[in-house]
Structures are given as structure tokens and as C-alpha cells.
A = this chain, B = another copy of it.
Amino acid sequence: MPQSPDQRGPSVRQVPEGDTCLRLVGPDCGYVAYENPKIIVGTVCYEGDRILLCRRAIEPQKGLWTLPAGFLELRETVTEGAKREAFEEARAEIDIEALLAVYSIPRVGHVQLIFRARLMSPNVTPGPESEEVALFAWDDIPWHALAFPSVHWALRHHREVLQETRAGAFAPRTNPPGEFGNY
């Protein structure tokens, strides 16, 4: 029997043999789709006191500003992925300095690894997923047009560790307690 498109792929929730969790199983092919959390890698890229932001050319949150970030691909390390995203979204060449933060967004099954990186050159230009890219001083950041809560978190955490790193090391941040609980 031909399938309509919306019935394609794993669509039946059941506990596979030998497993303990509900998984999506294909009704025809028997394939078990293990739904794992996805890793997003991104950077707070800075040059002096200015920070790189990208205005999204794609949904979700098209037209709003974000950090260069995206899904880690197979066969790359987390820093390779973060560098690739900075280049794809802003043609930015960067030097990754340290892990800034790890944010869990369990509602959507995402874990974000955000690095602090130095821009090697202020010559940034939009890649295909950005409408516009720019370097902002702290007071000029478009706070009311940021795409995601985690962009707020990462910018604030970046600023915090600027202080601490005078001592040479800092602990990476995680989700702010109780804040943006409806992410």
C-alpha cells in the first residue's frame, strides 16, 4: 500500500526488545530511531571590546541576532565544529580560547557548547544563513532583538569571565538557575 508522506519513517512509539525506553519505530521497515540530544557548537567571538553577532536569514527567529552556532556534524571535534560555524555564518576566522559555557535545553533536546574566541580579523561578511553580520560594543548590542535566551546567557557569561580570567582560569557556565525557565 503506498504511504502518504506524513506516514513516512519511524512513527510508532514502542519499547524495542531489550530496551527500557519508548522509541520511535518504523511501522513498515522496523527501523528504531533512537532520538538522542543534539549538540550545538557556537562562539562568542570578540575583537577588543566588540562582539560578533549575525542576523538570521533563516527560520526560526529570522531577522533576529544570534551568535555563530549550529549543529555539530559527525567526524569533527567540538572546536572544529565551532570554527566551521563561525566561517559559514560570518566568514570569520577565529582563534578559540576556552570553553565558555555548557547549556542544556532539554525541552528541545539540545546541548550547547559555547566557546570564547578571538576574531583574527574584523573583516566579517554574511554567509548564506545570515542577512547581516556586525561587531557590537556592549552598549550597542541589540538586546531586544536577540534570537534566543541562550544568546543573552552567553553574552552575559562572556562579560563575567572577562573579569575572572585576569586570574588565569575560569569555570565554564551552565544554565542560569531559574531564569528563562520556559525556554
B-binding residues in A (CB < 8 A):
3, 5, 8-10, 21, 26, 28-33, 35-39, 71-80, 98-99, 102, 104, 106-107, 109, 111, 113, 164, 167-172, 174-175
Contact = CB atoms under 8 A, between A and B. Distances in A.
A26 B25 CA distance: 13
Contacts of A107: 75
28 contacts: A3-B29, A8-B29, A9-B26, A9-B29, A9-B32, A26-B26, A26-B29, A29-B31, A33-B33, A36-B39, A36-B72, A37-B73, A37-B74, A72-B111, A74-B109, A75-B107, A75-B109, A76-B106, A77-B106, A79-B174, A99-B99, A99-B171, A99-B172, A102-B113, A111-B113, A169-B169, A169-B170, A170-B171
Nearest to A76: B106
Contacts of A35: 74
A12 to B, nearest CB: 12
Contacts of A77: 104, 106, 175
A38 B31 CA distance: 18
Number of copies: 2
Nearest to A107: B75
A30 to B, nearest CB: 5
A6 to B, nearest CB: 11
Given A5-B30, A167-B168, 17 more contacts: A9-B26, A9-B29, A28-B28, A33-B33, A36-B39, A74-B109, A75-B107, A76-B104, A76-B106, A78-B102, A78-B111, A102-B102, A102-B113, A111-B113, A164-B169, A167-B169, A171-B171
